[in-house]
Chains A and B, each alone.
Chain A
Amino acid sequence: MRHCKQIVDLVSQGMESKLPWSIRMEVKMHLLMCKNCYRYAKQLKFMQSELKTIENNIADTALTETAKKRIQQSLKLAIHETSND
C-alpha cells in the first residue's frame, strides 16, 4: 500500500497521463478513505482549471502605449515588405 506522499505524486501524474488500471484503483480507494488526499486532489483540479483561464482574469497587466506604438510600426513595416515581395 502506498502512503500519502506517493499518492500525491500519482494524483498529479494522473492529471496528465493515463495511469495503469490497478494504480488508478488504488488511488481511488485511497482518496475515498483519506480526507487530506481527497482534498488535495480536489484542490489540484481547481488549480488546473483556474490556470487555464487566468489570463482572462488579470486585467491589471496590459501592453503599454509605447509598446503598442512600437508593435504597430513594426507590423506596418513588415506588412509593407511582404506586399512588395
Chain B
Amino acid sequence: MLLVVEQFLNGLQFGLLLFLLAAGLTLVFGIMDFVNLAHGSLYMMGAYFAATFVAWTGNFVLGIILALGATLLLGIALEFVALRHLYGRDHLDHVLATFGLILFFNDAVRLIWGPAGLALPLPAWLTVPIAILPGIYYPAYRLAIIVVALVVALMLYVVVMRTRLGMLIRAGASNREMIGALGINIKLLYTLVFGLGAALAGLAGLMQAPILTVQIGMGENILILAFVIIVIGGIGSIRGAFLAAIFVGMIDTLGRAFLPDLLRQMLSSTAASTAAPALSSMLIYLLMAIVLVLRPEGLFPANRR
C-alpha cells in the first residue's frame, strides 16, 4: 500500500515535469503554428545556466532565478534573430531549421562547458526525505518539484484564462489572421509567447538537473515525450497538455513499477524481466495511437470551445 502511494507520487512528479516542457511546446506550436524541435535545447540551456549560476553565486535559489531569466532572454533573442524569419514557411522548413539549432546548441555547450557534463548539487535542506504520511518517506526535492510545478500550472491558468494577455494568446490559438486584423501587435505577442515557452522549458530542465546530470543532449529524449503529450492533449491547449502530461507520467511510472510483477505471474521470471521494460516504454505510444484513432484532434483541442 505504502509502495502504491509512493509510486503515484513518482508518477505525478514526472507528469508535472513533463507538463512544464509540454506547456511551452504546445503554446508555440498552437499559437504560432511553429514546430520547435529546439525546445529540448532550451531545456538543456536552462540546466546549464542553473549549474553555472548556482556555482557562481553559491546560492541555490538565487542561481535558479538567474537561470530562469537567462533562459527567457535566450528564448527572446532566439526568436528575434532566427525563428522570426521562418513563420510564413512550411513545417518542414521549421523542422530543418530547429534541428540545425539543436546541433548548434549541442556544440556551443561542448565549446563553452566541455563534454563532461556538470553537476547541480542540492542544498542540504532539499536532500532529506520527508515523512508525508506515517511510514511514507518521500525525497524533499521531488516534493518541491511537485509544488513548484503545480504553482506554475496555476499561474499559467490564471494568465491564460483571466488576463488580457491570455485572451490574446487564446485568440491567437483560435484564429491568427483575425487577431492580426484587429490591430494586435502579433509580432510582439509571438516574441512574448516564445520567451514564455523557453522559460518554461528552462524551468523543467533546471528542476530535472539535480536528479539527472546536466549534459549535452539531455533534452532530446524527453522532447519526444513532450510531443506525444501535446498530440494527446490537443495542440495549443494548456489544459490538454496538463492532463495528458499527468496521464503520461502516471502510465510511464506505474507501468515500470507494476508491469514486471504482473507479467511474472504469467511468464517465467527471466522472460518477464526482459519483456516488462520494453512493454512499459511502449504503453505511452500505444495511448497516443489510440487517441489519434479515436480523437485525431487530441483530447482537448484548443480551437473547439
Question: Do A and B interact with each other, yes or no?
Answer: no
A interface residues, Cβ below 8 angstroms from B: none
